[in-house]
Amino acid sequence: MDPELFYTVSRELRTHMPAQAVLLSAASFYHPCKTRKNPLRVPNAMAKARWSIPRRGADCGAYTATMRWGGVYRFTPRNYIDWLYPTFRTLKNTLLGITF
């Protein structure tokens, strides 16, 4: 079985991206804001690109937390879960064995 390669998206999805598997890092979408509860923002183009992206993967950003943030996450596990749902919900998507 060949490994599946994911294109890593570090800042934003584009509607003109080719149909390929993508990996989104939560640390790349961290943006502190006092008017929002969740410091992780949902990618702007996700709603438009949702059906053209065949598979999506999520990364919690452990490398960034370890190497750049002094070993401390700047968002809570609840923030991460709340970011995953609107970012990844589709009938075709499976994350950690859970179909959204």
pLDDT for 8 equals 79
pLDDT for 76 equals 92
Q: Is 6 exposed, middle or buried (0-12, 13-18, 19+ CB in 10 A)?
A: middle
Q: Between the CA of residue 55 and those of 20, 21, 46, 48, 90, what are the distances in Å?
A: 7, 5, 12, 15, 10
Please tell me the pTM assigned to this model: 0.70
- CA–CA separation, 50 and 15 (whole Å): 9
Partners of 28 in beta bridges: none
Instruction: Say whether pLDDT at 63 is over 80.
Output: yes
Instruction: Say whether pLDDT at 85 is over 60.
Output: yes
pLDDT for 4 equals 79
Looking at per-residue pLDDT, the higher value among 10 and 91 belongs to 10
